[in-house]
Amino acid sequence: MSNYPLKPWLVIIAVTLCGCEVAKTRYAPDFRQPHVEGALTDNKVIYRLDLSNEGLATLPEFVRSLKTLRMLNLDNNPDLNMDQTLREICTHLNQLNTLRLNGLNLVTLPGGLSDCRALTHLSLSKNPNLDLATAMPVLARLPLEYLNLSHNNLSTLPRSIKGLNYLQDLRLSHNRLIDGPAYNYLSQLPSLYSLWLDHNQLATLPLNLGELAQIRYLFLDHNRLSTFGPHMTGMQQLRVVHLNHNNFTTLPVELTQMPSLMVVFAAGNCISRISKAFAAQRQHLNGIVLDQNCLQEQEVQRAQKLFRNYFLFSAENQRMNH
């Protein structure tokens, strides 16, 4: 969102509604510093630990004593012995609920991971050789609420993904997903409310995707979409939709049939007109972003009258002032 010259009020709305991260920070002090390891013996309570990019082959011994640890980041340690590491994690870190295993060249997930009974957030991004079908039985035994499978070269999804009954946030960004039967399984995830399908190869939206009636946040940026489809109106709880950088030439009129919709992001398309049907959305649609589109001056003026208090256009696209 920071790529667009937005007004502050819409930025606040977008961040509030989307639950997006606005900054990335390291999760703990640098434990390579000698004084920190010494401090661990002084009964200091450690909740987060970042051991990413450390060239680890095994889990450092001091980690086993961190009984209060909630979050562990092991990203980008491709030589890490995962069988041994996960066995130690599940044995000693009983309160761990967030584990990052990005960029580890994983092919399979050791079965011992399912012994981490408190694990609710798991990130497996940037493991393009991961066999998701064989990993699913392990994942299904965890109470996962968040799963990141982005940057994994996925072209489809295994049927067994529907067994993730507690999953609320699924990230499938930067893969090679296209339309297909795999989306039948996503529609069977009863708790899913946030779905990230941006940076894939979707030319149409799968029919079953509209059956996700409980979805609130949908990310479809950087695909090949030119239509939304009437089947998507089944998403009656949808609050925020991201359609940036697709192939839309008109703003999908189906969005007017989603009563919970509050913010629409549609920058970087070739939208040249907006249907008058959007006038009926005034009571709940708070904002729309249409930077880098093809609206002509006449259409901009019409939109200004229609959506004066509800729609936002940047100066890059026109000269409207709110």
Question: What CA–CA distances, in Å, run from 22 to 2, 25, 126, 135?
Answer: 9, 10, 21, 31
Classify residue 188 by its DSSP letter: T
| pLDDT for residue 316 | 46
How many helices (H) and strands (E) would you count in the chain? 6, 11
| pLDDT for residue 312 | 61
pTM above 0.85, yes or no: no
| pLDDT for residue 32 | 36
| pLDDT for residue 35 | 29
CATH topology of domain 1-26+193-322: 3.80.10
Could you tell me the residue ranges of all domains in the chain?
1-26+193-322
Closest CA to 99 of 123, 129, 67: 123
Q: 3-state DSSP call for residue 11?
A: helix
Residue type, 143: P
| pLDDT for residue 308 | 56
Q: Round to whole Å and give the CA distance between 167 and 235.
A: 17
Give the 3-state DSSP-derived string for the chain, with helices as H, strands as E and coil as C. CCCCCCCHHHHHHHHHHHCCCCCCCCCCCCCCCHHHHHHHHHCCCCCEEECCCCCCCCCCHHHHHCCCCCEEECCCCCCCCHHHHHHHHHHHCCCCCEEECCCCCCCCCCHHHHHCCCCCEEECCCCCCCCHHHHHHHHCCCCCCEEECCCCCCCCCCHHHHHCCCCCEEECCCCCCCCCCHHHHHCCCCCCCEEECCCCCCCCCCHHHHHCCCCCEEECCCCCCCCCCHHHHHCCCCCEEECCCCCCCECCHHHHHCCCCCEEECCCCCCCECCHHHHHHCCCCCEEECCCCCCCHHHHHHHHHHCCCCCECCCCCCCCCC
- How does pLDDT run along the chain (322 residues), one tens digit per residue? 333 334 433 433 444 444 433 223 333 333 333 223 333 445 568 899 999 999 999 999 999 999 999 999 999 999 999 999 999 999 999 999 999 999 999 999 998 899 999 999 999 999 999 999 999 999 999 999 999 999 999 999 999 999 999 999 999 999 999 877 777 788 889 999 999 999 999 999 988 888 899 999 999 999 999 999 999 999 999 999 999 999 999 999 999 899 899 899 999 999 998 887 877 666 577 778 888 899 888 877 777 776 655 556 654 444 333 3
Are the beta carbons of 187 and 206 closer than 8 angstroms? no
Closest CA to 104 of 36, 56, 72: 56
